Structure 1
Amino acid sequence: MAQTDPVQVPHRDQEGDGTALLIIDMINCFDFPGAEALQPAAEAAADAIERLRAEFEARGWPVVYVNDNFGEWHSERSRLVERALEHDNPVTQRLRPRADDFFIIKPQFSGFYATNLAVLLPKLGVTRLVLTGIATDICILFTAADAHMRDYSLWVPGDAVAAEDPERNRWALRIMQDSMGAETAASAALSLDDWLAKLDKSKSPLNE
């Protein structure tokens, strides 16, 4: 009897309670209306994002870039990065993705809309998300709302996101905190370990 090849079982969702860092729209040419107001705040946010990315890399935890296609429907990762670098802006230079980072291209505000992010995260065993990038009152807010509806625990560090207007930045952070249960403390004031400990404590049977 001829030997047959074993049936290939597709890779299923990983078990666990993993955490991923999402870097949203920081691969950017800053050539849109309002960019002059946003870019300085984005550069300041890049400081915190760099620190968080280094910590995730040291732990071997996933870093996921979620980036707009800026209307370039034929674009893919390398073309988006190359085009942003041509504009010689320090944000993309500092935060250009590593070879092992994941890269999701989105066509609209939310990182979950018409992308494979909702498939990728369960495959990685992720249930907790740290959202960083721009703009707090648009793409961060919409992504957080979709993540909240999917029961992800959220941390949106106030020093790792930026918007064109400081008041709208504060407004969006309040919405995410009050309506989505997101932690919004700055990464300079709350460590990754402390946030995870707060989540574990909140899920303890003694707090139910």
Structure 2
Amino acid sequence: MRALLSIDYTNDFVASDGKLTTGQAGQGIEQALVETTKEFLANGDFVVFAIDCHDSTDHYHPENKLFPPHNLVGTSGRQLYGQLEKIYEEHHTLPTVYWLDKRHYSAFSGTDLDIRLRERGIVDLYLTGVCTDICVLHTAVDAYNLGYKLHIVKDAVASFDPDGHAWALRHFEQSLGASIE
């Protein structure tokens, strides 16, 4: 069994005016991400939208020292970017689609993601989204440590740091045994 993790592909991370945007790099993966998502939905695979969720009143979160406020509850910055928003709206009621609010880089940290995957017998995880060298990376490391087989959809991940993006792709393959597809 397999699942697709669509990580942080939101307005704040992708739109030109996003609060912490990957800009053209993130916008450039939209078609690959959309096609991959449609394929998984058509096959009846589990699709998880793992989306950063921050509260403007939480002054203790460690990211507040590193990044400007982003993906704040109740803002348009948390909406999925571009065509992915429409796909989610059309399919969000399916039992194979799951919206996961996350507070940390990894989609596994403090969430029920591992339980949801295991109860469905999922072994293979396909990762897409942004940022390759931050949230995608931390999710991949946790997935590896939990024993999942990793697949990174190369054309559907991006970062605002080209060097970090390239490093993360090598790390996925060389240190986590991920398949880069």
TM bucket, shorter chain: 0.7 to 0.9
- 1:39 to partner: Cα distance: 2.1
Confirm whether residue 71 of structure 1 aligns to residue 55 of structure 2: yes
- 1:47 to partner: Cα distance: 1.0
- Other-structure match for 2:19: 32
Which structure dedicates a bigger proportion of its chain to strand?
2
- 1:123 to partner: Cα distance: 1.4
- 1:70 to partner: Cα distance: 3.1
Confirm whether residue 106 of structure 1 aligns to residue 69 of structure 2: no
Confirm whether residue 22 of structure 1 aligns to residue 22 of structure 2: no
CA RMSD of aligned residues (A): 2.2
- 1:85 to partner: Cα distance: 7.6
- 1:118 to partner: Cα distance: 1.2
Question: TM-score scaled by structure 2?
Answer: 0.79
Inter-CA distance 58–110: structure 2 relative to 1 (3 Å threshold)? same
- 1:137 to partner: Cα distance: 0.4
- 1:27 to partner: Cα distance: 2.5
Question: TM-score scaled by structure 1?
Answer: 0.69
Residue from 81, 86, 93 that aligns with 1:92: 81
| Corresponding letter in the other structure for 2:149 | S
Cα distance in 1 for residues equivalent to 2:142 and 2:104: 13
- 1:71 to partner: Cα distance: 3.3
Residues 96-175 of structure 1 aligned to structure 2 (within 5 Å) = 96=85, 97=88, 98-99=91-92, 100=94, 101-175=97-171
Contact 2:124 2:148 in 1 (8 A): yes
- 1:81 to partner: Cα distance: 8.2
Cα distance in 1 for residues equivalent to 2:43 and 2:112: 24
- Other-structure match for 1:50: 34
Structure 1: gaps of 5 or more residues:
1-17, 186-208
- 1:65 to partner: Cα distance: 0.4
What's the % identity of the aligned pairs? 33
Contact 1:85 1:93 in 2 (8 A): no
Inter-CA distance 53–80: structure 2 relative to 1 (3 Å threshold)? farther
| Corresponding letter in the other structure for 2:48 | V
- 1:42 to partner: Cα distance: 1.1
Contact 2:51 2:78 in 1 (8 A): no
| Corresponding letter in the other structure for 2:76 | R
- 1:72 to partner: Cα distance: 5.1
Structure number, greater radius of gyration: 1
Structure 2: gaps of 5 or more residues:
59-71
Cα distance in 2 for residues equivalent to 1:32 and 1:83: 11
